[in-house]
């Protein structure tokens, strides 16, 4: 964190309180209010953390006004075009792009951890068949703490490293098995001669009765979806992982907490909700009706896949995703897909509508990802598990960074209490 000579002065109750100011490498300055309560006896109030930095980080930077996303300084569109998911995982985890040898070693380490402890399949089998795959993932990832005792000691850097590799390596197997269980098919074991995305597609779509050939264009599109979701600085699920970890909880418990948070429709669940909305709209002539509903203050309906807390411009991931959707649908010969037509027309209408323009609501990453996943054959219930799989490396990178920060302490927000003041207990017969 860069020190500078700037300070800010807050005057409260006739007293001046000097606040240090930290300058980031890029982005707005940050007022350090850590000593505010000690010096001034006041708290700050910022529900939803709209103006509050909860930590210092070197991993990901977003410029919401420009619509820019950088991982360790590299823009997401370059990474999506020129790199691939495991290389981006290395970049996020270790801070630099790997050399050829480092990449080979990392890929080998990930590949050698793809299998799950055989006993873990009984956890899957304990769920109802109609369980949502996200429910299974929260349970199974949390249960990893009961299986991998040799990587739960967070004070040991080697155990932290093994836990990180295990989570990146096993998450595709867990997501694929949640899917297989959900549709009543046998589990397919990982194959280590396949790349990360191809292996995941095979575990989802192969059956013992016949061979499954992975289409390289679909595998590239899958890899790109993973890459575009790998990290997104201090979003709700990442902050959840950091808060869980701040108490010293083990890595598997922390990632299970992140998966639970990601599930909500305002966050990772939006890709499922967006496709369901596009299907409900059905045909372009019904778009105006839904636009009007989204603008109506008395209607809770929102355009899913639109808007973002940080981006006040196009989400750069959505641009790449849209191009990918075109490629995949053309390859599969379904480029006249009615859902894609509705999506394109909805984007066109909404991005020229005063309401959306004034509020700076643009399509986000979830707007087009569902269309690609649907075309690949995934049911909507698998969209958020795929997001969780891909985001795992971001959660782990942030978790590792937090633990290696000497300044880290338990997260404990304060509150603006608005309840009853002190009152004496009243016996039940006197109420």
Helices assigned H by DSSP within 184-250: 196-205, 216-228, 236-246
- Give the Cα-Cα-Cα angle 112, 113, 116 (nearest 5 degrees): 135
- Cβ nearer to ligand CMC, comparing 17 with 365: 365
- Residues lying near ligand CMC in the complex (CB under 6 A) are found at 232, 235, 266-268, 270, 294, 302-309, 359, 361, 364-366
Q: Catalytic: which of 195, 231, 315, 366?
A: 366
- Please give the biggest Cα pair distance in the chain: 79
**Residue 299 is a catalytic residue:** no
- Cβ nearer to ligand CMC, comparing 109 with 312: 312
- Cβ nearer to ligand CMC, comparing 22 with 293: 293
| Minimum distance from residue 290 beta carbon to ligand CMC (Å) | 10
| Minimum distance from residue 419 beta carbon to ligand CMC (Å) | 25
| Minimum distance from residue 356 beta carbon to ligand CMC (Å) | 7
| Minimum distance from residue 342 beta carbon to ligand CMC (Å) | 16
In Å, how far are 141, 272, 274, 357, 417 from 267, measured between CA atoms? 19, 11, 11, 22, 28
How many C-beta atoms lie closer than 10 Å to residue 155's C-beta? 8
Q: CB within 8 A of 373, min separation 6: which ones?
A: 225, 271, 275, 382, 383, 386
Which residue minimizes CB distance to ligand CMC?
A: 307
In Å, how far are 101, 227, 228 from 84, measured between CA atoms? 16, 7, 10
- Cβ nearer to ligand CMC, comparing 124 with 367: 367
- Cβ nearer to ligand CMC, comparing 167 with 303: 303
Q: Catalytic: which of 84, 132, 232, 308?
A: 308
DSSP 397: H
Q: Can you give the C-alpha Rg of the chain in angstroms?
A: 23
| Minimum distance from residue 305 beta carbon to ligand CMC (Å) | 5
**Residue 408 is a catalytic residue:** no
- The per-residue b/e assignment along 171-180, b for 16 or more CB within 10 angstroms, e otherwise, is bbbbbbbbbb
Helix, strand, coil percentages (3-state) for the chain, rounded to 5, are: 55, 5, 40
- Cβ nearer to ligand CMC, comparing 64 with 75: 64
Cβ 181 vs Cβ 125: under 8 Å: yes
| Minimum distance from residue 274 beta carbon to ligand CMC (Å) | 6
Answer positive or negative: Cα dihedral of 401, 406, 407, 413.
positive
Q: Where in the sequence numbering do the catalytic residues fall?
A: 308, 366
């Amino acid at each position: 964190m860069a020190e500078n000579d700037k300070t800010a002065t807050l005057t409260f109750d006739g007293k001046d309180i000097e606040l240090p100011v930290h300058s980031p490498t890029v982005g707005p300055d940050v007022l350090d209010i850590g000593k505010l309560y000690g010096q001034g006896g006041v708290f700050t109030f910022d529900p939803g953390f709209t103006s509050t930095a909860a930590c210092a980080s070197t991993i990901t930077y977003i410029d919401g006004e420009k619509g820019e996303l950088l991982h360790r300084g590299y823009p997401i569109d370059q990474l999506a075009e020129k790199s691939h998911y495991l290389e981006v995982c290395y970049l996020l985890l270790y801070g630099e792009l790997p050399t050829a040898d480092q990449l080979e070693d990392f890929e080998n380490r990930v590949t050698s951890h793809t299998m799950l402890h055989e006993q873990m399949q009984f956890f899957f089998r304990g769920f109802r068949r109609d369980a949502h795959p996200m429910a299974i993932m929260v349970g199974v990832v949390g249960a990893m703490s009961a299986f991998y005792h040799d990587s739960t000691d967070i004070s040991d850097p080697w155990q932290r490293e093994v836990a990180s590799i295990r989570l990146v390596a096993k998450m595709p197997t867990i997501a694929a098995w949640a899917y297989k269980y959900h549709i009543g098919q046998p589990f397919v074991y990982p194959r280590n001669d396949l790349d990360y995305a191809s292996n995941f597609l095979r575990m989802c779509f192969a059956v013992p009765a016949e061979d499954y050939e992975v289409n390289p264009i679909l595998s590239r599109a899958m890899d790109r979806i993973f890459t575009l979701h790998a990290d997104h600085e201090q979003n709700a699920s990442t902050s959840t992982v950091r808060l869980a970890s701040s108490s010293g909880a083990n890595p598997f418990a922390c990632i299970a907490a992140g998966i639970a948070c990601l599930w909500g429709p305002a966050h990772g669940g939006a890709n499922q909700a967006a496709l369901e909305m596009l299907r409900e709209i059905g045909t372009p002539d019904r778009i105006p009706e839904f636009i009007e509903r989204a603008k109506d203050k008395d209607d809770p309906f929102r355009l899913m896949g639109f808007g973002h807390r940080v981006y006040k411009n196009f989400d750069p991931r959505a641009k790449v995703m849209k191009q990918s959707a075109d490629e995949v649908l053309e390859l599969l010969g379904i480029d006249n897909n009615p859902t894609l037509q509705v999506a394109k027309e909805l984007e066109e209408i909404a991005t020229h509508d005063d309401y959306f323009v004034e509020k700076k609501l643009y399509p986000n990453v979830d707007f087009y990802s569902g269309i690609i996943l649907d075309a690949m054959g995934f049911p909507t219930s698998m969209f958020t598990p795929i997001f969780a799989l891909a985001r795992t490396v971001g959660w782990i990178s942030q978790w590792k960074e937090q633990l290696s920060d000497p300044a880290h302490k338990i997260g404990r927000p304060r509150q603006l209490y608005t309840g009853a003041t002190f009152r004496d207990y009243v016996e039940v017969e006197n109420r």
